[in-house]
Amino acid sequence: MKYIFLLVLIVILAQKLEGQSCTSCDIIISSNSNTSQTLNSNNQRICITGGVFSGNITLNGTGNSVCVSAAGTIGSGGSLTLNGSNITVLNYGNVTIPSLSINNNSVYNNYNLTTITGTLDINSNGITYNQISGTTNVGNFNVNSNANLNISGGVFRQTQAGSTANNNSLGTITITNNASLNIAGNFVNNSTVNSNRGTVNITGNFTNNSGANYNLNNRLLNVGGSLTNNGNISTAGTGCSKMNITGTITNNGGANIQGTGGARIDVCGSGGTTNFGSITNTQPTACSCVVSLPITLLYFDVQYNKMSDKIDIFWTALSDEDNGYFVIEKSLNGIDFEAIAQKNAIKNIMPQNYSVKDEVFENGYVYYRLKNVESNRFFYSDIKAIEIKNKNIDFDVFPNPSADYIFVKIKNTESKNIGISVLNIEGKLVLFVDKISVFDKNKIDIAHLPKGIYFLEMKDFFGNNGDIVRKKMVKME
């Protein structure tokens, strides 16, 4: 029995690892590269297993694919062109591209983070974009005839407030498993939206056109603007669904808002309702339906506070999760992020404000993102960048990594009162050098330090307002 259990455990671990890596690769890109790649034959695969790829990938032919592993990145200078048929994209890492058009029975599967700064076009003939876990950020999107947008985990977010996202004739959008579709602009539905235990948040206006069907199915629809219904909005089965409408509700002739089979829709809002159609089995003012909300991020931003010399990180979110939480992640290059703080989500039907502060140690750009975790799922916010220019002192460290010694070269100061502290990964002082020249290279012996990550902290004790600058150093054996 013990050996059977061990075998099952090995299989489970293998499946988990396989879900984060790429297999059956014909072309492997494992380090930084900007060399473009093109597949013209059939049934081949390009794998990005490490580093940042900033070239162009063009997939022609039939059955070709590209796979980005958990350690791989397609950077902001890269692009994907899917010209062939039956193309597959698997993203377990990070993908940032200017736009994407999916055609000819092709599939894009996102498991971590995909950012499309322009428009995502999911075109005709059996095309599918699968948001499985993590986050997809798009400037705008169009789901066209016989195409599918499936959001089964995490969040799919449209970010351009002035744009209109479209689900066109014969297109289908499905949201399940407590996933979220967040639209910063307007949304027009000309076909079918199935929200099966999914949440849709629309900041602008929502138009449900004639012949279109929006199926709430025991879930939540938030509209920050107005709702115009020319088609059908319904919920079925048992229980209730909720629509929070900030603006006006117009239900035109021949249109329906209805609960069927014992289910009901609570319509919540104070903008007023104009009804020329049919509204049945709804409670326009009761607003008593309790719908289990995932974490919904409403606002996220970062600012430099000159008075405190810190970065203020703040966000606003809704949550009905008892065990949801936020992880604040920081990067100095916009690619490699590390967690710096964590906040528990506050369970409340009203928006809650959160904030943390981060230390500022050197000039340059700093990048932040928010990881929202709930019910063993997570999604990422947009990345926020801020440039720090206030530091009057700076220094370079080289070679880095090093095993025996390092040089420190001081920049941007006229003070002669410079000290260097060396801190270990726990923030404890392990070495202090108080006689630092501002004119020459300063050699510091580190041979006696154990292997690991250290931080060099430089402080101008008497000049430049006591500025502090910190740099990371790697000590090798």
In the chain, the number of structural domains is 4
Each residue's pLDDT tens digit, 417-444 = 677 889 887 778 899 887 777 777 888 9
Residue 20: pLDDT above 70?
A: no
Whether residues 165 and 188 share a domain: the answer is yes
Asked, for residue 5, whether it belongs to a domain, the answer is: no
Whether residues 39 and 148 share a domain: the answer is yes
Q: pTM, whole model, 2 decimals? A: 0.64
Asked, for residue 8, whether it belongs to a domain, the answer is: no
Q: Which domain covers residue 239, as residue numbers?
A: 223-291
Asked, for residue 3, whether it belongs to a domain, the answer is: no
Asked, for residue 10, whether it belongs to a domain, the answer is: no
Of 162, 196, 222, which marks where a domain is finished? 222
Asked, for residue 11, whether it belongs to a domain, the answer is: no
Whether residues 118 and 137 share a domain: the answer is yes
Each residue's pLDDT tens digit, 48-105 = 999 999 999 999 999 999 999 988 999 878 899 999 999 999 999 999 999 999 988 9
Whether residues 360 and 414 share a domain: the answer is no
The radius of gyration computed from the CA coordinates of the chain, to the nearest angstrom, equals 26
Residue 12: pLDDT above 60?
A: no
Asked, for residue 83, whether it belongs to a domain, the answer is: yes
Of 205, 222, 239, which marks where a domain is finished? 222
Whether residues 193 and 325 share a domain: the answer is no
Asked, for residue 145, whether it belongs to a domain, the answer is: yes
Whether residues 185 and 228 share a domain: the answer is no
Q: Please answer whether residues 46 and 67 qualify as being in contact, where contact means their C-beta atoms are separated by less than 8 angstroms.
A: yes
Of 207, 222, 237, which marks where a domain is finished? 222
Look at residues 130, 119, 122 and name the one whose alpha carbon lies nearest to residue 160: 119
Whether residues 280 and 339 share a domain: the answer is no
Whether residues 120 and 46 share a domain: the answer is yes
Whether residues 127 and 237 share a domain: the answer is no
Each residue's pLDDT tens digit, 231-289 = 999 987 666 788 888 899 999 989 999 887 777 888 877 677 788 778 776 655 456 66
Whether residues 72 and 151 share a domain: the answer is yes
Asked, for residue 471, whether it belongs to a domain, the answer is: yes
Whether residues 229 and 208 share a domain: the answer is no
